[in-house]
C-alpha cells in the first residue's frame, strides 16, 4: 500500500504481455555558452556494443548548408574533381565537410556511411534540452541482442571544443531504468531512460 503509484504502474506493465515495445528515451542538453561567436554544435548520438561496433545511429545533427555533398564516406559530390567553381573556397562540401570532427563517431561509423541518414540526420539544434525516443526493433533502431551497450553522445563546435560522453547499460532491462551523465563543456546533462 505504500508503493508509489509509478511502481505499481511498472508492475502492471511488466505483467501485461501485450506491452513489448521496449523504448529508449534520450535527452541531450545543449548548454548555453557565453562566447563571442557561437555556432551550434554538430552532434552524433549512437549505441555501441562492447567491441565498439555500432548497434545503431540514433541522431546526427550537422549544418545543412546548400550544396552539401552526399556523402562523407560514400559517393563524391557531383562536382568533385572539378575546380572549385564555386560555392566556397573549399569546394562544394557544404556542412558535411566537418563531419570528421566528430572524430569518434567518424571512426566508428561516419566514414563508412552516406549522409543524410533517413530518420537520423538533421539540422543542428539550438541551446536547450533535446528529447527524442526510440523503440527497439523500429527504425532507425534495430533489435538489440542481450548484452552490454553504451550510449554515446559526441559534440563538436566550430570555433569551440569537442566532447564525448557515454552511458553504459545492460540490455534488456527488467524495470524502467533511468540513467544519466553530465558533460563538462560542449554538452550538458545527458539522460537515458530504458523501458522494458
The nearest distance, CB 144 to another protein, in angstroms, is 25
Residue with smaller CB distance to another protein, 111 or 148: 111
Residue with smaller CB distance to another protein, 14 or 80: 80
Residue with smaller CB distance to another protein, 74 or 178: 74
Angle at 161 between CA 192 and CA 71, to 5 degrees: 75
Evaluate the CA torsion angle 14, 19, 24, 27 in order and state its sign. Answer: negative
**How many residues are recorded in the chain?**
196
Which residues make up the interface to another protein (CB under 8 A)? 69, 71-77, 79-81, 90-93, 96-97, 99-100, 103-104, 106-107, 111-112
Cell representation of residue 80: 568533385
The nearest distance, CB 134 to another protein, in angstroms, is 26
Residue with smaller CB distance to another protein, 31 or 73: 73
Could you tell me which residues come within 8 angstroms of residue 166 by beta carbon, excluding any fewer than 6 positions away? 48, 150, 151, 152, 153, 181
Which of 70, 6, 45 is CA-nearest to residue 163?
A: 45
- Where would I find the H helices in 83-134? 103-108
The CA-to-CA distance between both ends of the chain, in Å, stands at 24
The nearest distance, CB 169 to another protein, in angstroms, is 21
The nearest distance, CB 120 to another protein, in angstroms, is 17
The nearest distance, CB 167 to another protein, in angstroms, is 18
Residue with smaller CB distance to another protein, 33 or 80: 80
Amino acid at each position: 500500500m505504500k508503493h508509489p503509484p509509478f511502481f505499481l504502474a511498472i508492475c502492471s506493465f511488466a505483467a501485461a504481455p501485450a506491452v513489448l515495445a521496449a523504448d529508449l528515451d534520450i535527452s541531450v542538453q545543449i548548454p548555453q555558452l557565453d562566447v563571442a561567436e557561437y555556432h551550434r554544435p554538430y552532434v552524433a548520438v549512437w549505441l555501441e556494443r562492447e567491441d565498439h561496433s555500432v548497434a545503431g545511429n540514433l541522431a546526427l545533427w550537422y549544418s545543412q548548408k546548400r550544396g552539401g555533398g552526399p556523402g562523407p564516406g560514400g559517393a563524391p559530390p557531383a562536382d568533385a574533381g572539378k575546380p572549385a567553381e564555386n560555392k566556397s573556397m573549399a569546394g562544394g562540401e557544404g556542412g558535411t565537410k566537418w563531419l570528421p570532427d566528430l572524430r569518434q563517431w567518424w571512426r566508428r561509423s561516419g566514414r563508412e556511411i552516406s549522409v543524410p541518414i533517413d530518420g537520423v540526420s538533421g539540422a543542428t539544434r539550438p541551446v536547450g534540452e533535446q528529447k527524442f525516443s526510440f523503440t527497439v526493433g523500429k527504425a532507425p533502431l534495430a533489435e538489440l541482442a542481450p548484452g552490454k551497450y553504451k550510449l554515446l553522445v559526441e559534440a563538436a563546435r566550430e570555433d569551440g571544443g569537442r566532447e564525448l560522453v557515454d552511458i553504459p547499460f545492460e540490455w534488456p532491462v527488467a524495470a524502467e531504468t533511468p540513467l544519466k551523465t553530465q558533460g563538462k563543456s560542449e554538452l550538458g546533462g545527458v539522460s537515458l531512460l530504458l523501458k522494458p
